[in-house]
Amino acid sequence: MGFKKLLASLGAGGASVETVLNEPNVVPGGVVQGEVRIQGGSVAQQIEGLTVGLQARVEVEGQDQEYHQNIEFHRQQLGGAFEVQPGAVHTVPFGLEIPYETPITHFMGTHLRGMSVGVTTELAIARAVDSGDLDPVNVHPMPAQQAILDAFGQLGFSFRSADLEKGHLRGTRQRLPFYQEIEFNAPQQYRGLTQVELTFVADGHEMDVILEMDKKPGLFSEGSDTFRSFKVGLHNFQATDWAGYLHQWLAEVGGKRNWF
């Protein structure tokens, strides 16, 4: 069970809020169950609104610099207005839907470095809005995503890093204002490669899989990136040997460019 204190009192004698997640582990397309507990202060207070949402820490590339920005990418209203009496406890249960595009934060039981995704809570009292802390959620791959990740592992690729980048990938079903890149180191058998970056963009039926291959610089040529995208059904992905598919494509591209 995840538990985190979100909010101190909203002014002297005001209410305090905490959010409890029943289970912080989830997959894209799933639901995070929990409840918001509002502890009344020394005076009655009218709660004008209560929302929970999802927030991610995203890398933004500016003209001359890179920086990180917290972006809320999903929000859910929890009921209407209500009054909290002095000292009373008001509990609001919720089921927060996790969008299919939500980035993966955990893979093979390990937290991916650089990933920060969690549940936020906002309480509105007398036209003032106070935001709470971030309650982390552990987003694990959907089965179709796990199949692609496993295929890279079978081919000898090793996880290097992951990040979220603000922007849009053209030609995909992307709706969020950012996308995730999962970076792998290439094994020696693909000696013309240094790394491969993997991106998933999913909806409720299928997902776009985007690969960016980084070629090692040669003696008389500059390094370049080669892209590949294909679609994977969320419910029929088992019919394909993804390790074989990826190996064949890598071998074909490498042969054409004399990488290996």
| Structural domains for the chain | 2-139 (2.60.40.640), 143-256 (no CATH)
Taking 90 as the threshold, does the pLDDT of residue 138 lie above it?
yes
Taking 60 as the threshold, does the pLDDT of residue 20 lie above it?
yes
Q: Which pLDDT band holds residue 6 (cuts at 50, 70, 90)?
A: very low
Give CA separation, 213 vs 28, 150, 186, 194, in Å.
25, 18, 10, 8
Rounded to an integer, the average pLDDT of 61-70 is: 86
Coil, strand or helix at 221: coil
Taking 80 as the threshold, does the pLDDT of residue 123 lie above it?
yes
Angle made by CA atoms 230, 234, 240, in degrees to the nearest 5? 60
Rounded to an integer, the average pLDDT of 74-98 is: 91
pTM: 0.86
Q: What is the pLDDT of residue 127?
A: 57
Count the Cβ atoms, other than its own, within 10 Å of residue 54.
Answer: 23
Instruction: Give the integer Cα–Cα distance in Å for 19 and 127.
Output: 21
Q: What is the pLDDT of residue 222?
A: 42
Q: What is the pLDDT of residue 128?
A: 60
Q: What is the pLDDT of residue 249?
A: 86
Least reliable range by pLDDT among 40-54, 160-174, 196-210: 40-54
Taking 80 as the threshold, does the pLDDT of residue 63 lie above it?
no
Percent of the chain with pLDDT over 70: 86
Rounded to an integer, the average pLDDT of 218-222 is: 41
Q: Which pLDDT band holds residue 219 (cuts at 50, 70, 90)?
A: very low
Least reliable range by pLDDT among 3-7, 140-144, 180-184: 3-7
Q: Which pLDDT band holds residue 224 (cuts at 50, 70, 90)?
A: very low
Residues 6+ apart with CB under 8 A from 174: 101, 168, 201, 208
Rounded to an integer, the average pLDDT of 31-40 is: 93
Taking 80 as the threshold, does the pLDDT of residue 218 lie above it?
no
Q: What is the mean pLDDT of the chain?
A: 86
Rounded to an integer, the average pLDDT of 124-147 is: 84
62, 139 Cβ separation under 8 angstroms: no
Higher pLDDT, 30 or 109: 30
Angle made by CA atoms 199, 206, 159, in degrees to the nearest 5? 25
Taking 90 as the threshold, does the pLDDT of residue 45 lie above it?
no
Q: What is the pLDDT of residue 228?
A: 86
